[in-house]
């Protein structure tokens, strides 16, 4: 899940969760990235559950057509 979070940051830089992560790390002066990425993992899991259960997309995420 940690690797998924790093991939999310790389591939979805304009999503709400990516902007939250960047703001949080910046406010810490670049420290505590490890604990912040774990918090992002939790937020991603909740967002994925909302998508699977209710069809609610993550705000700012870009989806590709199949």
- Token code pair at residue 19: 């902007």
CB 39 within 8 A of CB 1: no
pTM: 0.85
Asked whether residue 66 carries a pLDDT value surpassing 80, the answer given is: no
Give the pLDDT confidence of 1-48 residue by residue, as tens digits.
999 999 999 999 999 999 999 999 999 888 889 999 999 999 999 999
**Residue 17 and residue 44 in contact, taking contact as beta carbons nearer than 8 Å:** yes
Question: pLDDT tens across 43-62, in order?
Answer: 999 999 999 999 998 888 88
Instruction: Identify the CA nearest to 22 among candidates 11, 35, 9.
Output: 9
Q: Where are the domains of the chain?
A: 2-54
């Amino acid at each position: 899940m940690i690797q998924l979070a790093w991939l999310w940051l790389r591939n979805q830089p304009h999503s709400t969760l990516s902007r939250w992560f960047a703001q949080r790390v910046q406010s810490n002066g670049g420290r505590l990235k490890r604990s912040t990425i774990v918090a992002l993992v939790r937020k991603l899991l909740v967002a994925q559950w909302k998508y699977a259960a209710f069809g609610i997309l993550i705000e700012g995420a870009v989806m590709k057509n199949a």
